[in-house]
């Protein structure tokens, strides 16, 4: 398991943000947690830190349904950033949607590691962090 993992949460649900932040904080491998309420804010951050591997996240937990820029819009722009990013970032979709259309749409995005239906359990987070 890698130590000093930087985590990025992109989700507009305050309760989910609060829950996952507190769950992540107990993991000794987590160094830094940044959160955004929509994909546009997160994209601005990634572009501003594109060459800064210390600030870039190691993993992104991304919601699908958000205002301003949803998860799919974020992933579309993210794909164009990948060749220029200072490090590889692992992306997980975390959504309350159980719609098969969302599952199928997500499967077509090569950069998404997995689709996890909320709420994410601590043992799932532990496994994800260990795989990084």
Measured at the CA of 90, the angle between CA 40 and CA 87, to 5 degrees, comes to: 85
Q: How many helices (H) and strands (E) does the chain have?
A: 5, 5
Q: Say whether the peptide bond before residue 54 is cis (omega within 30 degrees of 0).
A: no
| Cα gap 46→49, rounded to integer Å | 5
The model's pLDDT over 63-86, given as tens digits with 9 standing for 90+, comes to 999 999 999 999 999 999 999 999
- Whether the CB-CB separation of 72 and 108 falls below 8 Å is answered with no
**Model-level pTM?**
0.94
- Whether the CB-CB separation of 35 and 11 falls below 8 Å is answered with yes
pLDDT value for 75:
97
Spans of all domains in the chain: 5-131
Which residue in this structure is represented by tokens 């994800």?
128
CA pseudo-torsion sign 18, 27, 75, 79: positive
The model's pLDDT over 18-64, given as tens digits with 9 standing for 90+, comes to 999 999 988 989 999 999 999 999 999 999 999 999 999 999 999 99
Task: Give the CATH architecture of domain 5-131.
Answer: 3-Layer(aba) Sandwich (3.40)
């Amino acid at each position: 398991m890698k130590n000093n993992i930087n985590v990025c949460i992109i989700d507009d649900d305050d309760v989910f943000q609060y829950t996952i932040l507190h769950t992540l904080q107990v993991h000794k491998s987590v160094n830094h947690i940044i959160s955004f309420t929509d994909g546009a804010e997160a994209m601005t951050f990634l572009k501003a830190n594109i060459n800064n591997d210390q600030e870039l996240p190691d993993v992104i937990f991304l919601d699908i349904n958000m205002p301003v820029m949803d998860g799919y819009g974020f992933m579309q722009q993210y794909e164009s950033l990948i060749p220029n990013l200072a490090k590889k970032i692992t992306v997980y979709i975390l959504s309350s949607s159980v719609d098969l259309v969302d599952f199928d749409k997500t499967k077509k995005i090569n950069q998404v590691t997995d689709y996890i239906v909320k709420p994410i359990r601590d043992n799932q987070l532990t496994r994800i962090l260990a795989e990084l």
